[in-house]
Amino acid sequence: MALQDRPKPELSAPTDAIVRVTKTSICGTDLHILKGDVPTCQPGRVLGHEGVGVVDGVGAAVTMFKPGDRVLISCVSACGKCAYCRKLMYSHCTTGGWILGNTIDGTQAEFVRIPHADTSLYLIPEGADEEALVMLSDILPTGFECGVLNGKVQPGASVAIVGAGPIGLAALLTAQFYAPAAIIMIDLDDNRLNVAKRFGATATINSADGKAAERVMEMTAARGVDTAIEAVGVPATFGLCQEIVAAGGVIANIGVHGAKVDLHLERLWDRNIAITTRLVDTVSTPMLLNVVGSNRIDPKLLITHRFKLDEILAAYDTFAHAAETHALKVIIAA
């Protein structure tokens, strides 16, 4: 990884926009890329798929935005026309999807090219807090769509979230829209578990002793949880979800998995469970903009560190060593 001077990106299609990035962030997925878990991202790529900024230029076909507009950049680019977009599966857009910081250069830069700008950017409301809105590029819709919606969280239900990192905490914040009776957060890091308690978790479990499943069963009268949300992306956490899901429950996977996991159908074949996977589609972004604008939730709670762009290597070091630095989300400003 290095900080380099690169040419300013140029419009390559009439539907493109060039955005001057004012604030961006680092995602756990960026760490997965650096570990080699995302083979579609090749060496030399500018990383980053989150951010806010100011429109610098637009292609001839862009009608919704003009230079000078303050915009939220979606982590997923969507043409709005292909078969997947018609089904609101923007993550699988045939000419878009998760391409920023993956197959095209991303937002951890002074400028970024945004394909399909009309359907991949959002105007920032007057007076909105830009730092808070960076959390709406990816982690808030990801936690909500891949965890809460896919997990079918319901009023009075029980939920366990395995992984109290930024994505798990985003799922915790948005799960409370549906008033579940219990939200159990499971992690190895006591600091993150303390944060989860402040964010609304009804119980926390440090899984370092290997007895997390046993404790969940004690808390649920040996029944298990209605929704088990996997928010890490390693075999052990997916395995834990299989141990704690109740009959008729849902395992909602959010984590980016770079290694195979075991599926224990010898135990689960008769349990009436569902397992869901998903890449965020960002269909919830307009709703979340309204929720944040009405102060129903405060995504800035997730921000722990702030850096300038020329300090991005230090930002990565801080984010990658969260156990020591207590980092959640970092903001990188131009």
| Per-residue pLDDT tens digits for 178-225 | 999 999 999 999 999 999 999 999 999 999 999 999 999 999 999 999
* Letter string b/e over residues 217-228, b meaning 16 or more CB atoms within 10 A of that residue's CB: bebbeeebbbbb
Residue 236 maps to a domain: yes
Distance, in Å, from the CA atom of 6 to the CA atom of 26, rounded to the nearest integer, reads 19
What lies within 8 Å, CB to CB, of 323 at 6+ separation is 189
Residues 145, 265 share a domain: yes
Specify the CATH number for the domain of residue 94.
3.90.180.10
pLDDT in tens, 141-165: 999 999 999 999 999 999 999 999 9
Tell me the CA distances in angstroms from 87 to 32, 78, 91, 92, one per residue in order: 28, 12, 11, 10
Tell me the CA distances in angstroms from 120 to 23, 36, 152, one per residue in order: 17, 27, 27
pLDDT in tens, 13-50: 999 999 999 999 999 999 999 999 999 999 999 999 99
Mean pLDDT of 239-260: 96
Of the two residues 141 and 258, the one the predictor is more confident about is 141
How far from chain centre, in Å, is Cα 251? Answer: 17
Residue 39 maps to a domain: yes
Residues 226, 113 share a domain: no
| Per-residue pLDDT at 18 | 98
| Per-residue pLDDT at 161 | 98
**Structural domains in the chain (count):** 2
Q: By the 8 A CB rule, do 298 and 132 touch? A: yes
| Per-residue pLDDT at 244 | 98
| Per-residue pLDDT at 59 | 98
| Per-residue pLDDT at 110 | 98
| Per-residue pLDDT at 274 | 98
Residues 243, 289 share a domain: no
| Per-residue pLDDT at 89 | 98
| Per-residue pLDDT at 176 | 97
| Per-residue pLDDT at 157 | 98
pLDDT in tens, 259-275: 999 999 999 999 999 99
Residues 256, 163 share a domain: yes
